[in-house]
Structure 1
Amino acid sequence: MLHVWMIIGILFHATYIDSKWVLEQRDIRDVSASKSLVLLYHLHTISAPSDEQLFNSYEKMQKVVQNVPMGRKAREDAYGETRAGNPELDGYDCVIWTGDAMRALIKEGLIDLQGRDVEEVMAEARSLAGPEDAKTMVGVDFGGLKIM
Protein backbone atom coordinates (compact mmCIF):
# COMPACT_ATOMS: atom_id res chain seq x y z
CA MET A 1 0.00 0.00 0.00
CA LEU A 2 1.19 3.49 -0.83
CA HIS A 3 1.51 5.68 2.23
CA VAL A 4 0.42 9.01 0.79
CA TRP A 5 1.62 10.99 3.77
CA MET A 6 5.19 10.06 2.80
CA ILE A 7 4.85 11.89 -0.52
CA ILE A 8 4.90 15.67 -0.45
CA GLY A 9 3.93 16.05 -4.07
CA ILE A 10 3.68 14.59 -7.53
CA LEU A 11 5.47 16.31 -10.38
CA PHE A 12 3.64 16.15 -13.72
CA HIS A 13 5.50 17.77 -16.59
CA ALA A 14 5.25 17.74 -20.38
CA THR A 15 8.74 16.99 -21.63
CA TYR A 16 10.14 17.02 -25.18
CA ILE A 17 12.40 13.98 -25.63
CA ASP A 18 13.69 12.51 -28.89
CA SER A 19 11.43 14.79 -30.97
CA LYS A 20 8.23 13.75 -29.18
CA TRP A 21 6.20 14.95 -26.21
CA VAL A 22 5.88 12.66 -23.18
CA LEU A 23 4.39 13.04 -19.71
CA GLU A 24 6.98 12.99 -16.98
CA GLN A 25 5.54 11.92 -13.64
CA ARG A 26 7.38 11.33 -10.41
CA ASP A 27 6.85 11.46 -6.67
CA ILE A 28 8.79 14.19 -4.95
CA ARG A 29 9.50 14.94 -1.34
CA ASP A 30 10.65 18.54 -1.76
CA VAL A 31 9.48 20.22 -4.96
CA SER A 32 11.39 23.37 -4.02
CA ALA A 33 14.65 21.45 -4.50
CA SER A 34 13.90 20.71 -8.17
CA LYS A 35 16.65 21.83 -10.52
CA SER A 36 14.35 21.96 -13.54
CA LEU A 37 11.39 24.02 -12.31
CA VAL A 38 11.24 27.72 -13.07
CA LEU A 39 8.34 28.42 -10.70
CA LEU A 40 6.52 26.63 -7.92
CA TYR A 41 2.90 27.81 -7.92
CA HIS A 42 0.26 26.45 -5.53
CA LEU A 43 -3.05 25.78 -7.28
CA HIS A 44 -5.05 23.64 -4.93
CA THR A 45 -4.68 21.50 -1.83
CA ILE A 46 -6.17 18.04 -1.81
CA SER A 47 -7.47 16.88 1.53
CA ALA A 48 -9.61 13.95 2.52
CA PRO A 49 -10.84 12.39 5.77
CA SER A 50 -8.86 9.18 5.16
CA ASP A 51 -5.72 7.97 3.42
CA GLU A 52 -7.87 5.84 1.13
CA GLN A 53 -9.96 8.80 -0.01
CA LEU A 54 -6.84 10.91 -0.47
CA PHE A 55 -5.26 8.17 -2.59
CA ASN A 56 -8.49 7.88 -4.63
CA SER A 57 -8.39 11.63 -5.32
CA TYR A 58 -4.77 11.33 -6.40
CA GLU A 59 -5.61 8.43 -8.73
CA LYS A 60 -8.44 10.44 -10.31
CA MET A 61 -6.12 13.41 -10.84
CA GLN A 62 -3.46 11.15 -12.29
CA LYS A 63 -5.88 9.63 -14.83
CA VAL A 64 -7.18 13.05 -15.88
CA VAL A 65 -3.68 14.46 -16.34
CA GLN A 66 -2.50 11.38 -18.24
CA ASN A 67 -5.34 11.87 -20.74
CA VAL A 68 -4.45 15.47 -21.60
CA PRO A 69 -3.30 15.48 -25.25
CA MET A 70 0.48 15.74 -25.72
CA GLY A 71 1.96 17.68 -28.59
CA ARG A 72 0.62 20.21 -31.08
CA LYS A 73 -1.11 17.78 -33.45
CA ALA A 74 -2.74 15.67 -30.71
CA ARG A 75 -3.95 18.85 -29.02
CA GLU A 76 -5.35 20.33 -32.23
CA ASP A 77 -7.11 17.03 -33.03
CA ALA A 78 -8.63 16.85 -29.53
CA TYR A 79 -9.63 20.49 -29.04
CA GLY A 80 -9.92 21.82 -32.59
CA GLU A 81 -7.90 24.91 -31.74
CA THR A 82 -4.36 26.11 -32.18
CA ARG A 83 -2.17 27.78 -29.57
CA ALA A 84 1.18 29.30 -30.39
CA GLY A 85 3.89 27.21 -28.80
CA ASN A 86 7.64 27.03 -29.15
CA PRO A 87 8.45 26.72 -32.88
CA GLU A 88 11.61 24.76 -32.02
CA LEU A 89 9.49 22.17 -30.16
CA ASP A 90 6.98 21.44 -32.93
CA GLY A 91 4.84 24.48 -32.07
CA TYR A 92 4.00 23.22 -28.57
CA ASP A 93 5.36 23.64 -25.03
CA CYS A 94 4.84 22.63 -21.42
CA VAL A 95 2.97 25.88 -20.69
CA ILE A 96 0.23 24.94 -23.19
CA TRP A 97 0.04 21.47 -21.66
CA THR A 98 -0.18 22.90 -18.13
CA GLY A 99 -3.15 25.10 -19.08
CA ASP A 100 -4.89 22.15 -20.72
CA ALA A 101 -4.22 19.96 -17.66
CA MET A 102 -5.65 22.62 -15.36
CA ARG A 103 -8.80 22.91 -17.51
CA ALA A 104 -9.23 19.12 -17.46
CA LEU A 105 -8.86 18.99 -13.66
CA ILE A 106 -11.39 21.82 -13.25
CA LYS A 107 -13.84 20.10 -15.62
CA GLU A 108 -13.68 16.95 -13.48
CA GLY A 109 -14.18 18.98 -10.27
CA LEU A 110 -10.75 18.03 -8.93
CA ILE A 111 -9.35 21.55 -8.51
CA ASP A 112 -10.95 24.91 -7.86
CA LEU A 113 -9.26 28.17 -8.87
CA GLN A 114 -11.53 30.21 -6.59
CA GLY A 115 -13.33 32.05 -9.38
CA ARG A 116 -10.25 32.73 -11.48
CA ASP A 117 -9.86 31.29 -14.95
CA VAL A 118 -6.87 29.32 -16.23
CA GLU A 119 -5.58 32.18 -18.39
CA GLU A 120 -5.53 34.53 -15.39
CA VAL A 121 -3.65 32.01 -13.24
CA MET A 122 -1.19 31.22 -16.05
CA ALA A 123 -0.54 34.95 -16.65
CA GLU A 124 0.13 35.50 -12.96
CA ALA A 125 2.44 32.48 -12.80
CA ARG A 126 4.30 33.62 -15.90
CA SER A 127 4.83 37.10 -14.43
CA LEU A 128 6.22 35.55 -11.24
CA ALA A 129 8.54 33.20 -13.14
CA GLY A 130 10.62 35.97 -14.65
CA PRO A 131 10.97 37.96 -17.83
CA GLU A 132 9.42 36.71 -21.04
CA ASP A 133 12.88 36.63 -22.60
CA ALA A 134 14.82 34.33 -20.26
CA LYS A 135 18.09 35.45 -21.86
CA THR A 136 17.83 38.65 -19.82
CA MET A 137 18.27 36.49 -16.69
CA VAL A 138 21.72 35.16 -17.70
CA GLY A 139 24.27 36.07 -15.07
CA VAL A 140 21.63 37.01 -12.48
CA ASP A 141 22.18 35.56 -9.01
CA PHE A 142 19.02 34.34 -7.25
CA GLY A 143 20.55 33.52 -3.87
CA GLY A 144 22.40 30.30 -4.50
CA LEU A 145 21.25 29.84 -8.09
CA LYS A 146 23.07 31.75 -10.78
CA ILE A 147 21.43 31.57 -14.20
CA MET A 148 23.99 30.62 -16.84
Structure 2
Amino acid sequence: MDLGEVARRAARRVHRHTRRLIRVDADGSVILGRPHRLECAVSNLAENAAKFDARSAGETEDAEPVRLEIRTGRVTVSDHGHGIGAADATRVFDCFHRVDSARGLPGSGLGLAIVRDVAETHDGTVFARSRPGGGAEVGFSVGGRGLLPPG
Protein backbone atom coordinates (compact mmCIF):
# COMPACT_ATOMS: atom_id res chain seq x y z
CA MET A 1 0.00 0.00 0.00
CA ASP A 2 1.02 3.62 -0.52
CA LEU A 3 1.80 5.02 2.94
CA GLY A 4 1.06 8.52 1.65
CA GLU A 5 -2.50 7.52 0.79
CA VAL A 6 -2.93 6.08 4.29
CA ALA A 7 -1.66 9.40 5.68
CA ARG A 8 -3.99 11.45 3.47
CA ARG A 9 -7.04 9.45 4.67
CA ALA A 10 -5.95 9.97 8.27
CA ALA A 11 -5.38 13.69 7.66
CA ARG A 12 -8.88 14.09 6.20
CA ARG A 13 -10.42 12.34 9.19
CA VAL A 14 -8.46 14.45 11.71
CA HIS A 15 -9.40 17.61 9.81
CA ARG A 16 -13.11 16.68 10.00
CA HIS A 17 -12.78 16.05 13.74
CA THR A 18 -10.53 18.97 14.76
CA ARG A 19 -10.96 21.45 11.86
CA ARG A 20 -7.14 21.69 11.80
CA LEU A 21 -5.45 21.42 8.44
CA ILE A 22 -2.93 18.61 8.14
CA ARG A 23 -0.45 19.10 5.30
CA VAL A 24 0.81 15.76 3.96
CA ASP A 25 4.16 15.60 2.16
CA ALA A 26 4.77 12.01 1.06
CA ASP A 27 7.54 10.49 -1.04
CA GLY A 28 5.58 7.52 -2.41
CA SER A 29 6.79 4.96 0.15
CA VAL A 30 5.13 1.61 -0.49
CA ILE A 31 4.86 -0.85 2.36
CA LEU A 32 3.41 -4.20 3.29
CA GLY A 33 1.15 -3.67 6.24
CA ARG A 34 -2.23 -3.43 7.84
CA PRO A 35 -3.92 -0.30 6.43
CA HIS A 36 -6.46 0.18 9.22
CA ARG A 37 -3.84 -0.09 11.97
CA LEU A 38 -1.44 2.21 10.14
CA GLU A 39 -4.19 4.78 9.57
CA CYS A 40 -5.05 4.61 13.27
CA ALA A 41 -1.40 5.26 14.21
CA VAL A 42 -1.09 8.20 11.82
CA SER A 43 -4.42 9.62 13.03
CA ASN A 44 -3.28 9.39 16.66
CA LEU A 45 -0.11 11.33 15.82
CA ALA A 46 -2.01 14.01 13.88
CA GLU A 47 -4.70 14.38 16.57
CA ASN A 48 -2.04 14.81 19.25
CA ALA A 49 -0.26 17.44 17.15
CA ALA A 50 -3.52 19.33 16.64
CA LYS A 51 -4.29 19.13 20.37
CA PHE A 52 -0.86 20.24 21.61
CA ASP A 53 -0.13 22.85 18.96
CA ALA A 54 0.18 26.21 20.75
CA ARG A 55 -1.71 27.86 17.91
CA SER A 56 -4.76 25.63 18.41
CA ALA A 57 -6.39 27.55 21.24
CA GLY A 58 -9.37 29.27 19.65
CA GLU A 59 -7.96 28.87 16.15
CA THR A 60 -8.63 26.14 13.67
CA GLU A 61 -8.59 26.80 9.94
CA ASP A 62 -6.45 29.96 10.33
CA ALA A 63 -3.67 28.22 12.25
CA GLU A 64 -0.58 27.04 10.42
CA PRO A 65 -1.17 23.45 9.30
CA VAL A 66 0.23 20.50 11.19
CA ARG A 67 2.90 18.92 9.00
CA LEU A 68 2.81 15.19 8.28
CA GLU A 69 5.85 14.00 6.34
CA ILE A 70 6.65 10.55 4.96
CA ARG A 71 10.16 9.69 3.85
CA THR A 72 11.32 6.12 3.16
CA GLY A 73 8.72 4.52 5.42
CA ARG A 74 9.21 7.06 8.22
CA VAL A 75 6.16 9.08 9.36
CA THR A 76 6.90 12.38 11.13
CA VAL A 77 4.21 14.71 12.48
CA SER A 78 5.36 18.22 13.48
CA ASP A 79 3.49 20.77 15.57
CA HIS A 80 4.16 24.26 16.93
CA GLY A 81 3.52 23.54 20.61
CA HIS A 82 5.75 23.62 23.65
CA GLY A 83 7.84 20.65 22.60
CA ILE A 84 8.70 17.54 24.56
CA GLY A 85 11.10 17.47 27.47
CA ALA A 86 13.93 14.94 27.37
CA ALA A 87 12.44 12.94 30.26
CA ASP A 88 9.04 12.74 28.57
CA ALA A 89 10.47 11.90 25.12
CA THR A 90 11.39 8.44 26.37
CA ARG A 91 8.03 7.87 28.09
CA VAL A 92 5.31 9.38 25.86
CA PHE A 93 4.79 6.00 24.17
CA ASP A 94 4.10 4.24 27.50
CA CYS A 95 0.48 3.28 28.25
CA PHE A 96 -1.34 5.95 30.27
CA HIS A 97 1.65 8.31 30.42
CA ARG A 98 0.52 11.93 30.26
CA VAL A 99 2.95 14.85 30.18
CA ASP A 100 2.20 17.57 32.72
CA SER A 101 0.83 19.92 30.06
CA ALA A 102 -1.71 17.27 29.00
CA ARG A 103 -3.25 16.54 32.38
CA GLY A 104 -6.18 18.93 31.84
CA LEU A 105 -6.81 17.92 28.23
CA PRO A 106 -9.03 15.15 26.91
CA GLY A 107 -7.40 11.79 26.32
CA SER A 108 -6.44 8.61 28.10
CA GLY A 109 -2.72 8.35 27.42
CA LEU A 110 -3.21 5.41 25.05
CA GLY A 111 -2.84 7.08 21.63
CA LEU A 112 0.95 7.00 21.43
CA ALA A 113 1.09 3.54 23.01
CA ILE A 114 -1.03 2.39 20.07
CA VAL A 115 1.42 4.10 17.70
CA ARG A 116 4.29 2.16 19.27
CA ASP A 117 2.38 -1.12 18.98
CA VAL A 118 1.63 -0.48 15.30
CA ALA A 119 5.26 0.47 14.59
CA GLU A 120 6.60 -2.64 16.31
CA THR A 121 4.06 -4.82 14.47
CA HIS A 122 5.50 -3.41 11.23
CA ASP A 123 9.12 -4.05 12.32
CA GLY A 124 9.62 -0.34 13.05
CA THR A 125 10.42 2.08 15.85
CA VAL A 126 8.98 5.27 17.38
CA PHE A 127 10.55 8.63 18.19
CA ALA A 128 9.63 11.91 19.89
CA ARG A 129 11.71 15.06 20.22
CA SER A 130 11.43 18.83 20.42
CA ARG A 131 11.80 20.73 17.15
CA PRO A 132 14.31 23.50 16.69
CA GLY A 133 12.35 26.73 16.94
CA GLY A 134 9.57 25.20 19.05
CA GLY A 135 7.12 22.37 18.86
CA ALA A 136 7.56 18.65 18.63
CA GLU A 137 8.28 15.95 16.06
CA VAL A 138 6.68 12.63 16.86
CA GLY A 139 6.43 9.60 14.64
CA PHE A 140 7.34 6.08 13.68
CA SER A 141 9.10 4.10 11.01
CA VAL A 142 8.21 0.94 9.15
CA GLY A 143 11.24 -1.24 8.95
CA GLY A 144 12.94 -4.12 7.26
CA ARG A 145 10.76 -6.43 5.26
CA GLY A 146 7.73 -4.10 5.42
CA LEU A 147 9.27 -1.37 3.28
CA LEU A 148 9.18 -2.20 -0.42
CA PRO A 149 11.66 -0.84 -2.97
CA PRO A 150 10.43 2.20 -4.94
CA GLY A 151 8.85 1.79 -8.34
Higher helix content, 1 or 2: 1
Larger Rg: 1
More strand by share: 2
Give TM-score scaled by structure 2 length. 0.30
Q: Using CA pairs below 8 Å that are at least 6 residues apart, which structure has the higher relative contact order?
A: 2
What's the TM-score once normalised by structure 1's chain length? 0.31
